[in-house]
A = this chain, B = another copy of it.
């Protein structure tokens, strides 16, 4: 709160275990700004900038792409504006939410299948090649539409 910290790009790189190139790249993408203090040629970074990098790392670890992070930052930036923007923001968030929930559902299906497969390891069944209908114990039967194959074939 008292002294204004001022880092050089290499400092931040060391602090976060990334390269200077990465930091410049973030700037290039518009994820980060440098202070560019007193017209020097070298970038200068404040504590605030450092925090920003930490955010980027967190969100990255989190699975987001830099583009997604950019989106979030942009949204946050616009957060200070009026109500109309606010509602459009809400819409965007909700879209992303739906998307994520969709991906989650897919993952859940995958997990379920894998769990099932683990359980079934002793009752081995060749479900990968089973056409479904002909096979009583085939768990794929509801997903494998053999009629589709037959109908579309000549």
A binding-site residues for B, Cβ under 8 Å = 1, 5, 7, 11, 14-15, 47-48, 50-52, 54-55, 58, 62-64, 72-73, 75-76, 79-80, 86, 89-90, 93-94, 96-97, 100-101, 103-104, 106-111, 114-115, 117-118, 121-122, 124, 126-132, 134, 140, 143-144, 146, 148-149, 152-154
Contact = CB atoms under 8 A, between A and B. Distances in A.
Nearest to A63: B106
A76 B11 contact: no
A84 B139 CA distance: 25
Given A51-B146, A72-B128, A79-B121, 17 more contacts: A47-B131, A48-B131, A50-B153, A51-B149, A52-B128, A54-B144, A58-B143, A73-B128, A76-B128, A94-B118, A97-B111, A97-B118, A100-B110, A100-B111, A103-B107, A104-B111, A107-B107
Copies of this chain, how many? 2
B15 A86 contact: no
A150 to B, nearest CB: 8
